[in-house]
């Protein structure tokens, strides 16, 4: 499968390494140009390309950059991917790094904000795991206590591709529904970060409480 990765940091680079190991053709790009990616290419086996070329004809495009940099991506960047391709959003919102993003501050899940900027459906996954754990906790299917990762997306066909990819790179995938449910594993929630299997992950996802719900509960208790 042809896979393009936009972002060559820890998450993007480690995903590239896993995907190359599994026989995929992986192109990786950053904002500074392929000439800056020699070390990443040597470590991962991915092919450094210009930013515009990473998504070209790819069946899967992974976006793994700081969330605040999404608006600076070229308009229509992912429109050159293959028909029916999946766009995977691995990003998290940190206002101290990304600056305040009003729609997200007002309650919109970050994945919907990303979808609007990219102009394509996205699938949210790989955002609640440390980059190092991608390499150290990858395990074959049916392994006891295999780590699980949540997945959300509005489009079933592209979400199915992401679910299969999660399994292929070494994790159990938990389908949590559409993008509106992705808040359940964003920073600050019980499911953000823990190394647990699918059954325990579901419990943590269900235990998540949104800020507005916490405020309502506090008001009722006063």
Question: pLDDT tens-digit profile of 78-91?
Answer: 999 999 999 999 99
Confidence of residue 148 (pLDDT cuts 50, 70, 90): very high
CB atoms near residue 58 (< 10 Å)? 25
Residue with tokens 């059954």: 199
Residue with tokens 């949104």: 210
Confidence of residue 216 (pLDDT cuts 50, 70, 90): very low
This prediction has a pTM of 0.93
Instruction: Check residue 210 and give its pLDDT.
Output: 86
pLDDT per position as a tens digit, 50-72? 999 999 999 999 999 999 999 99
pLDDT per position as a tens digit, 111-137? 999 999 999 999 999 999 999 999 999
Range of the domain at 159: 2-221
CA distance 180 to 131: 24
What's the whole-number mean pLDDT along residues 93-107?
96
pLDDT per position as a tens digit, 192-214? 999 999 999 999 999 999 875 54
Instruction: Check residue 211 and give its pLDDT.
Output: 72
Please give the C-alpha separations between residue 128 and each of 73, 82, 165, 192, 203, in angstroms, as whole numbers.
23, 27, 16, 5, 15
Q: Tell me which of 35 and 214 has the higher pLDDT.
A: 35
Residues 6+ apart with CB under 8 A from 84: 59, 157, 158
- On the question of pLDDT at 219 being above 70, the answer is no
Domains identified in the chain, total number: 1
Instruction: Check residue 194 and give its pLDDT.
Output: 97
CATH number of the domain bearing residue 144: 3.40.50.720
Instruction: Check residue 65 and give its pLDDT.
Output: 98
Mean pLDDT computed over every residue of the chain: 94
What's the whole-number mean pLDDT along residues 32-44?
97
């Amino acid at each position: 499968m042809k896979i393009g990765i936009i972002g060559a940091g820890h998450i993007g680079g480690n995903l590239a390494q896993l995907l190359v190991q599994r026989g995929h053709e992986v192109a990786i790009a950053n904002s500074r140009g392929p000439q800056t990616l020699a070390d990443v290419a040597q470590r991962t086996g991915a092919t450094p390309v210009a930013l515009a070329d990473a998504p070209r004809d790819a069946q899967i495009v992974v976006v793994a950059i700081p969330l605040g940099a999404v608006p600076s991506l070229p308009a229509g960047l992912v429109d050159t991917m293959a028909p029916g391709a999946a766009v995977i959003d691995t990003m998290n919102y940190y206002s101290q790094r990304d600056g305040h993003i009003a729609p997200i501050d007002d309650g919109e899940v970050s994945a919907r904000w990303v979808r609007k900027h990219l102009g394509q459906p996205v699938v949210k996954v790989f955002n609640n795991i440390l980059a190092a754990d991608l390499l150290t906790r990858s395990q074959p299917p049916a392994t006891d206590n295999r780590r699980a990762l949540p997945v959300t997306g509005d489009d079933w066909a592209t979400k199915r591709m992401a679910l299969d990819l999660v399994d292929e790179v070494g994790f159990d995938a938990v389908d949590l529904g559409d993008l509106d449910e992705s808040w359940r594993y964003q920073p600050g929630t019980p499911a953000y970060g823990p190394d647990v299997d699918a059954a325990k992950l579901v419990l943590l996802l269900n235990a998540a409480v949104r800020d507005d719900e916490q405020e309502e509960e506090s008001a009722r208790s006063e």
